[in-house]
Chains A and B, each alone.
Chain A
Amino acid sequence: MTVLSVDDVVAELRDGMTVGIGGWGSRRKPMALVRAVCRAGLRDLTVVSYGGPDVGLLVAAGCVRRVVTGFVSLDSIPLEPHFRRAREAGTVELTEYDEGMLHWGLLAAAHRLPFLPIRAGLGSDVMTVNPGLRTVRSPYPDRSDLVAMPAVTLDAALVHLNRADRRGNARYLGPDPYFDDLFCLAARRRFVSCERLVSTADLIDQGPPQGLLLNRMMVDGVVETPHGAHFTSCVPDYDRDEAFQREYATADWATFRATYLDGDEDDYQKAVAAR
């Protein structure tokens, strides 16, 4: 276990990798890590995500070949503008699953299973647009047909939690764990950024034991990035920055990039504070 910088994490990633990103929509996304990936100019990534601006930023920066998801949304702004533009321009490939199917695919990968059966998807065009998807017949007397959801195995997982210690144990303080533990369990290399790195004793003291979502068996590197989920929410530390999100959604990409992404993460945080 090592304490890393955002650039150390990016140095562990390669073009063409499958990268899972935690959080949900525009909530608790590891945005500092995402911004670092954009700056490094990685290419041809397959991004697996309950998608928000993580997907939009990476797509706009030209890092993504394929998105694996059930939706891409900014929550308070329903449609992610950069993802939408890329889909309509045909510049990004898509594997579109039902949200529950994606959950099941991560669960299968976490358990080293080739697939898990699920009802979701039956009869829908999810089966048509993913011609590789197969169904499986129950071997029990019900004999029902189910979708054989393939494992979604990740080369790397990037997640952001409220608190972590130097060993890689981590806690969320908000109401929802999302699927960050599953992203880590489904991945070969697992990186968690956090609002604050604290001692193990403080980490334990800051809430009930079930809030300790990640332990060091599931984490390869930890990064302290205060405000590192900005502009997504990271409650209770901060809410979504709605004004900034509107700026992100409406600004011309070149202007946004020049203003916020050309420097490093410190420059980003300074530019956000200065506006």
Chain B
Amino acid sequence: MSRADVCVVACAEAWRGDGPVLASPTGLIPRLGARLAQLTFAPELLLTDGEATLLHGDEPEGWLPFRAVFGVVAAGTRHVMMGASQLDRFGNQNISCVGDWHRPTRQLLGVRGAPGNTVNHTTSYWVPRHQPRVFVDRVDMVSGIGHDRGAVEIRVVVTDLAVLDFATPDRSMRLRSVHPGVTVADVLAATGFPLTVPSEVPVTREPTGTELAIIERLDPDGRR
């Protein structure tokens, strides 16, 4: 079992209990997580092949081109796990640019669907490198909105070190669990704002043998 396997399971857990909604993972680890969830505890989840075909396990079950995805966004029957170049304590996210928007020091992707996602349905984030540069006091361009700006729900932020959530009175970020081998101090040092830390911080659960076998089957080349 590797750290990546723990992250895959932590991502999968984000969709637990969602029912028949469209899971839209961005990136390899979230994608493995969503597929693992669908193959185990969340069989109702809908997933695409990354293009326009809905898949259940390995079998096609429907058609969902981009324009239909926008309809699903508006309907709210979707839970996306996006990337984040910057995140603040209320879950405001930036993938547009670094620096002043008018003349950025680094142009990134653009806001993509983040504004519409966060105002319509549940959103989670995957951060492959937990560092102060990502977890900032203030994001440079609010792409996905956080809880202080009217987000429907920012559920979890899964990183290479920990799982974070927003189970606090003001819905600001909290440490939910640390991955095996990671300390609370490691996470605090890698986070650029004060994080709520409960008195007992559990360790992120490890994959079961069955889950590990599925992950191995989904990613036989070990790209994770």
Binding site for B on A (CB under 8 A): 24, 51, 69-73, 78-79, 83-84, 87-88, 90, 96-101, 103, 118-126, 128-129, 175-179
Q: Which residue of A lies closest to B93 (CB)?
A: A124
8 A Cβ contacts from B117-171 to A:
118-120, 141-145, 149-151
Partner of B106, one of A88, A101, A175, A177: A88
* Those 7 A-B pairs whose CB atoms lie nearest each other, nearest first: A120-B116, A71-B110, A123-B149, A175-B52, A87-B107, A124-B115, A98-B115
A-B contact pairs, 29 of them (CB 8 A): A24-B66, A51-B110, A70-B111, A70-B112, A71-B109, A71-B110, A79-B108, A87-B107, A88-B105, A97-B111, A98-B112, A99-B113, A101-B116, A118-B74, A120-B113, A120-B116, A121-B115, A121-B116, A123-B150, A123-B151, A124-B149, A125-B96, A125-B143, A126-B111, A129-B101, A129-B141, A175-B53, A176-B52, A177-B65
Q: Is the CB of B101 within 8 A of A125?
A: yes
The winner among A70, A79, A124 for most chain B CB atoms within 10 A is A124
In the complex where A88-B106, A123-B145 touch, is A176 in contact with B116 (Cβ < 8 A)?
Answer: no
Q: Does B14 belong to the interface (CB within 8 Å)?
A: no
Q: Which residue of A lies closest to B109 (CB)?
A: A71
Binding site for A on B (CB under 8 A): 51-53, 63, 65-67, 70, 73-74, 96-97, 101-116, 118-120, 141-145, 149-151
Partner of B74, one of A69, A70, A119: A119
In angstroms, Cα B106 to Cα A96, docked, is: 15
Q: Is the CB of A123 within 8 A of B119?
A: yes
In angstroms, Cα B65 to Cα A122, docked, is: 25
Residues of B within 8 A of A121 (CB): 115-116, 119
Q: Is the CB of B120 within 8 A of A70?
A: no
Residues of A within 8 A of B105 (CB): 88
The winner among B96, B102, B104, B110 for most chain A CB atoms within 10 A is B110
In the complex where A100-B116, A124-B145 touch, is A71 in contact with B107 (Cβ < 8 A)?
Answer: no
In angstroms, Cα B114 to Cα A70, docked, is: 10
Minimum CB–CB distance from B220 to chain A (whole Å) comes to 21
In the complex where A71-B112, A119-B116 touch, is A125 in contact with B107 (Cβ < 8 A)?
Answer: no
The winner among A90, A125, A177, A179 for most chain B CB atoms within 10 A is A125
Partner of B144, one of A24, A70, A124: A124
Q: Is the CB of B109 within 8 A of A100?
A: no
In angstroms, Cα B116 to Cα A17, docked, is: 29
Q: Which residue of B lies closest to A175 (CB)?
A: B52
Q: Is the CB of B67 within 8 A of A79?
A: no
Q: Is the CB of A100 within 8 A of B110?
A: no
Q: Which residue of B lies closest to A93 (CB)?
A: B102
Minimum CB–CB distance from B214 to chain A (whole Å) comes to 26
In angstroms, Cα B118 to Cα A125, docked, is: 13
In angstroms, Cα B196 to Cα A235, docked, is: 49
In the complex where A100-B116, A129-B141 touch, is A84 in contact with B107 (Cβ < 8 A)?
Answer: yes
Q: Is the CB of B109 within 8 A of A73?
A: yes
Residues of B within 8 A of A179 (CB): 66-67
Q: Which residue of B lies closest to A235 (CB)?
A: B51
Minimum CB–CB distance from B76 to chain A (whole Å) comes to 9
Minimum CB–CB distance from B4 to chain A (whole Å) comes to 20
Q: Is the CB of A79 within 8 A of B143?
A: no
In the complex where A100-B70, A100-B74, A176-B66 touch, is A122 in contact with B110 (Cβ < 8 A)?
Answer: no
